[in-house]
Amino acid sequence: MTVHWIAETLRGSPELAIFLTLAIGFWVGSLKFGSFSLGAVTGTLLAGVLVGQLDIAISPQVKSVFFIMFLFAVGFGVGPQFVRGIANDGLPQAIFAVIISFLCLGCVYVAAIASGYGPGMAEGLLAGSQTISASIGLATDAINRSGLSAEHTQAELNAIPVAYAVTYLFGTVGTGWILAFLGPKLLRINLAQECERYERDMNIRPMDGGANTAWHSYIVRAYKLKTAGLIAGKTVEDAENSQKTRIFLENLRRDGKIIPFDNTTLLHEGDIVAVSGPHEALVYWSNHAEEVADQELIEIPVETVDIVVTSKKLNGQRLIDLSTAPYARGIYINAIRRGSMNVDIPVLSQTAINRGDIINITGTRRHVADVIKNVGYADRPTNVTSMVLVGGGIFVGGLLGSLVLPIGGVPITLSSSGGALIAGLILGWLRGVTPKLGNVPSASVWFMNTVGLNIFIAVVGISAGPTFIKGLEQAGVSVFFWGVFASALPMLVAPLIGKYIFRFDPAINLGCCGGARTSTASVAMVADVAKSNVPMLGYTVPYAVSNTLLTMWGLVIVLLLS
């Protein structure tokens, strides 16, 4: 009786079925099997198929609304890296991503032709084997516009989640295993040693003895200068440069009073100075001055803040060069994040900063204000999303994407969803240049990206539920092996293309490959084997380019097979 009542309630209130599917899907997706998990998308699809056995009808407009929101968020997140990859020194990585994306599409097309799959099964194969769930929405739009009969259209749409579910598992696990374990063998390298070598190279200082990058992990101590000729007797600038590590005088007490100072101020015996720097660097001061308790002197207003880099002058600049800039004084970098996936970039002396990077810094408020003025804008926590930017961007992009261009008698259109993706790319890049354009907090981007996609997938699964088992029986096991083919071949060839054609550094080659397949899980496995985040340096530009192209392939594969 209770089960019957729940089933009838879900049929009468399909919105409850969606939230039930999300709850089950996210829970199943989070379960760990060793180091592997299904992920929220696959978990939600399987949960949707299960709930869909109750024959629940949901308006297709629901999934359209959330999918177009998801695509806008995808474009908004990767916009800065996408534009940089096309326009700047990321061009080789961007071209590499284009080649691998076409290779992925080619493998799926060959598999579809060889097996006689229609556009629905081929799209499911594409989405699962390449783990690009976003392509399903564009393919759905294309199939609906293809002019097929209503019955044929529904059959093709129902085939998508079947092929997706069967091929996704190897698409995720297989890609990670190939890159993390076969990749180093294909390249004939020891990945961990290559990353250690790369980090050593990235931390090499110029021959003229320029500043090193002890940017982070600092403390503040107070010292009384007692010995003439060591620190006392030097200017503030000379005292700060007495070591190779970044240290700074933050406060100065003389004759009992805290006084202002600049780089030319001469330090005297008896002065008490507040010094910030790494713990090991302050040992030098302990050997030449007496550490004292002066709470007032070291109580300096300090803040930690995320700064989004927007300065065109800083694009491509390395940390070792920036360390000498006047506004870098007293600033310590905790982390650098890049791209919509917030990939952690190693903080090394030769690390290059890109526009759109998010740098988490710590320093006094005065020093932080100088950095903000010269580098970008402070991305402080906020709950407010600019719905003018989001709503207007989706509307204009969707409107333009809906335009139909007949080519050779075939109506070609990006659809409103594809237009929203392009609008997100443009606005994401523009906001990296003009912060006043509008604010979209990271939590809002996460919601639109993750929840938007998973609601779409939930509706797909629920709608396909009644015919899923039948479709799986008709597809047979062959779709799994075609999925292995479409997943494995591009990733077996990609490292060799990166090595012999693009000459990528061995330490970042596999990161480029994972980015070109938009497989965050695989790059995480590569980083685990490498015992380093260095491979992530090759991930962001290929990811931004391929995330856009592989999503668009959902439209292309339908056009090729219709």
CA distances from 475 to 160, 424, 468, 480 (A): 11, 36, 10, 9
In which band, very low, low, confident or very high, does the pLDDT at 214 lie, cut at 50, 70 and 90?
A: very low
DSSP secondary-structure letter at 502? Answer: S
Return the half-sphere exposure (C-beta side, CA atoms, 13 A cut-off) of residue 145. Answer: 19
Beta carbons of 180 and 529 less than 8 angstroms apart: yes
Q: Quick one: pLDDT at residue 211?
A: 36
CA distances from 540 to 86, 96, 335, 504 (A): 12, 12, 16, 14
Q: Got the DSSP string for 171-219?
A: HHHHHHHIIIIIHHHHHT--HHHHHHHHHHHHTPPPTT-------SS-E
Q: How many Å apart are CA 369 and CA 327, to the nearest integer?
A: 9
Q: Quick one: pLDDT at residue 183?
A: 93
In which band, very low, low, confident or very high, does the pLDDT at 529 lie, cut at 50, 70 and 90?
A: confident
Structure tokens at 330: 């007293």
Q: Quick one: pLDDT at residue 212?
A: 37
DSSP 3-state of 383:
coil
Beta carbons of 463 and 52 less than 8 angstroms apart: yes
Q: Which amino acid is at 79?
A: G
Residue 498 has phi, psi (to 5 degrees) of: -65, -35
DSSP 3-state of 390:
helix
Beta carbons of 245 and 214 less than 8 angstroms apart: yes
The residue assigned the tokens 């997100």 is 424
CA distances from 492 to 104, 106, 186, 345 (A): 11, 15, 8, 26
Please indicate whether residue 30 or residue 280 has the higher confidence score (pLDDT).
Answer: 30
Residue 211: which of 249, 246, 247, 263 has the closest Cα? 246
Q: Is the pLDDT of residue 122 over 90?
A: yes
Please indicate whether residue 485 or residue 468 has the higher confidence score (pLDDT).
Answer: 485
Q: How many Å apart are CA 48 and CA 159, to the nearest integer?
A: 15
Beta carbons of 312 and 261 less than 8 angstroms apart: no
Q: Quick one: pLDDT at residue 193?
A: 92
Please indicate whether residue 7 or residue 191 has the higher confidence score (pLDDT).
Answer: 191
Beta carbons of 453 and 143 less than 8 angstroms apart: no
Model confidence pLDDT, tens digit, residues 71-88:
888 788 777 767 666 666
In which band, very low, low, confident or very high, does the pLDDT at 70 lie, cut at 50, 70 and 90?
A: confident
Query: HEC string of 58-114?
Result: CCHHHHHHHHHHHHHHHHHHHHHHHHHHHHCCCHHHHHHHHHHHHHHHHHHHHHHHH
CA distances from 271 to 51, 225, 404 (A): 74, 6, 76
Tell whether the torsion through CA atoms of 220, 221, 222 and 228 is positive or negative. negative
Structure tokens at 474: 């008709």
Structure tokens at 361: 């810094």
Model confidence pLDDT, tens digit, residues 304-333:
888 888 888 888 888 888 877 878 877 888
Q: Is the pLDDT of residue 99 over 90?
A: yes
Q: Quick one: pLDDT at residue 408?
A: 58
Q: Is the pLDDT of residue 187 over 90?
A: yes
Name which of 130-139, 337-346, 374-383, 452-461 the model is least confident about: 337-346
Tell me the pLDDT of the chain averaged across its residues. 83
Q: Quick one: pLDDT at residue 3?
A: 77
Q: Is the pLDDT of residue 400 over 90?
A: no
CA distances from 151 to 459, 470, 559 (A): 19, 16, 19
Structure tokens at 183: 């990749």
Return the half-sphere exposure (C-beta side, CA atoms, 13 A cut-off) of residue 61. Answer: 1
Q: Is the pLDDT of residue 411 over 70?
A: no
Please indicate whether residue 90 or residue 262 has the higher confidence score (pLDDT).
Answer: 262
In which band, very low, low, confident or very high, does the pLDDT at 95 lie, cut at 50, 70 and 90?
A: very high
CA distances from 176 to 85, 130, 135, 518 (A): 24, 12, 21, 11
In which band, very low, low, confident or very high, does the pLDDT at 218 lie, cut at 50, 70 and 90?
A: low
- Cβ burial, residue 169 (10 Å; 0-12/13-18/19+): middle
Instruction: Report the percentage of the chain scoring pLDDT > 90.
Output: 20
Q: Got the DSSP string for 294-308?
A: -HHHH---EEEEEEE
Report the 10 Å Cβ neighbour count for 408.
5
Beta carbons of 315 and 494 less than 8 angstroms apart: no
DSSP secondary-structure letter at 377? Answer: E
Please indicate whether residue 355 or residue 56 has the higher confidence score (pLDDT).
Answer: 56
DSSP 3-state of 266:
strand
Q: Quick one: pLDDT at residue 429?
A: 80
Report the 10 Å Cβ neighbour count for 36.
15
DSSP 3-state of 1:
coil
DSSP 3-state of 360:
strand
In which band, very low, low, confident or very high, does the pLDDT at 213 lie, cut at 50, 70 and 90?
A: very low
538-562 average pLDDT score: 88
Q: How many Å apart are CA 233 and CA 246, to the nearest integer?
A: 20
529-538 average pLDDT score: 83
